[in-house]
């Protein structure tokens, strides 16, 4: 329906925002009406795709996760395959958000340098270097809000630059891998201290449908790429786990989503060797 955000994840997430703010302020006031235009995300085909940092902010309002336990070491691939590089780029930027939540200075600095190296491999150094340098400058000042802002802007700049270069397939790969990494982190945290409220953050089947549709719109060569084929299959399984007709998403379903995301991320970071090599 036009101009209607009838998207399960959005009202649920806004309810989480309201709950967190009410706890923080001791307020008993009613929940304010949701204004989709003010939500920190971007709209594609009437689906609101969340800004990654906000997913972590919302989860923090429901408790105090140990984000250091969620950090992963990402080894940059030795490849010129632009699909693989774009997937790793999305993964690295999302890892940056986890490192910010953990306030791990060394990891954020490492990620800032990884961003520069990946940008060079993708021909995006000029567009990305200012953001990467701002990340490094902000972390030295313990300006975590500034680091988060620059990570958001880095992902936005890379996607915009790829689209200007007519590399829409690569732009979608950045978004896909970033979402997979964020979802893996969130499901890990939820699994360690499961509640129905936390599990509702995973009630986003329409977002998975959006990503599946975006893959269907890729060029034939991109759709047939082994990593994209694997992600397509993984998204089908994730959608099945998220698409709950009645009741709440169970802990088993959350764990299943987590495992699928982690398997795909392992594949992204350790792509299969090409035939003949």
Average pLDDT over residues 168-192: 90
**From residue 98, how far is each of 59, 94, 223, 254, 272 by CA, in Å?**
12, 7, 29, 19, 26
- pLDDT one-digit tens code per residue, 37-77: 333 344 444 444 455 556 666 666 667 788 899 999 888 88
Answer whether residue 229 shows pLDDT above 50.
yes
Answer whether residue 132 shows pLDDT above 70.
yes
CB-CB contact of 110 with 75 (8 Å):
no
Tokens of 33: 């009406």
CB-CB contact of 243 with 202 (8 Å):
no
Separation between Cα atoms, residue 53 and residue 41, nearest integer Å: 10
Exposure string of 46-68, with b = 16+ CB inside 10 Å and e = fewer, is ebbbbbbbbbbbbbeebeebebe
Question: What integer pLDDT is reported at residue 35 of this predicted model?
Answer: 36
Question: What integer pLDDT is reported at residue 3 of this predicted model?
Answer: 33
CA neighbor of 122 nearest in space, from 162, 156, 94, 91:
162
Question: What integer pLDDT is reported at residue 277 of this predicted model?
Answer: 45
Q: Considering the entire predicted model, what is its pTM?
A: 0.79
Dihedral of alpha carbons 119, 269, 202, 27, sign:
negative
Instruction: For residue 275, name the pLDDT band (cuts at 50, 70, 90).
Output: low
Question: What integer pLDDT is reported at residue 58 of this predicted model?
Answer: 65
**Residues 6 or more apart from 125 whose CB is under 8 A from it?**
116, 119
CB-CB contact of 72 with 160 (8 Å):
no
Phi, psi of 61 (to 5 degrees): -70, -15
CA neighbor of 172 nearest in space, from 120, 128, 219:
219
Question: What integer pLDDT is reported at residue 54 of this predicted model?
Answer: 61
Question: What integer pLDDT is reported at residue 30 of this predicted model?
Answer: 33
Average pLDDT over residues 125-134: 86
- pLDDT one-digit tens code per residue, 85-129: 999 999 998 898 889 888 999 999 999 899 889 989 988 888 888
Question: What integer pLDDT is reported at residue 118 of this predicted model?
Answer: 92
Residue 47, helix vs strand vs coil:
strand
């Amino acid at each position: 329906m036009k101009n209607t955000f009838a998207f399960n994840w959005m009202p649920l997430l806004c309810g989480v925002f309201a709950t967190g703010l009410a706890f923080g302020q001791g307020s008993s006031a009613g929940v304010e009406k949701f204004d989709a235009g003010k939500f920190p995300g971007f709209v594609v085909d009437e689906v609101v795709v969340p800004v990654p940092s906000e997913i972590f902010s919302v989860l923090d309002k429901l408790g105090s996760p140990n984000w250091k336990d969620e950090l992963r070491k990402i080894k940059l691939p030795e490849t010129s395959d632009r699909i693989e590089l774009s997937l790793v780029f999305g993964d690295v930027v999302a890892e940056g958000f986890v490192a910010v939540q953990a306030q791990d200075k060394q990891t954020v600095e490492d990620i800032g340098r990884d961003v520069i190296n990946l940008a060079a491999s993708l021909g995006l150094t000029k567009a990305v270097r200012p953001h990467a340098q701002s990340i490094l400058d902000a972390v030295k000042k313990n300006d975590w809000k500034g680091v988060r802002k620059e990570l958001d802007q880095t992902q936005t700049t890379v996607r915009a630059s790829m689209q200007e270069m007519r590399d829409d397939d690569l732009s979608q790969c950045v978004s896909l891998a970033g979402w997979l990494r964020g979802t893996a982190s969130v499901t890990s945290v939820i699994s360690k201290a499961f509640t129905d409220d936390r599990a509702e953050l995973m009630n986003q089947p329409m977002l998975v449908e959006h990503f599946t549709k975006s893959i269907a719109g890729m060029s034939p060569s991109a759709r047939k790429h082994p990593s994209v084929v694997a992600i397509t299959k993984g998204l089908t399984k994730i959608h099945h786990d998220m698409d709950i007709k009645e009741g709440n998403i169970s802990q088993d379903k959350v764990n299943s989503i987590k495992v699928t995301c982690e398997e795909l991320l392992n594949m992204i970071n350790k792509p299969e060797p090409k035939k003949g090599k």
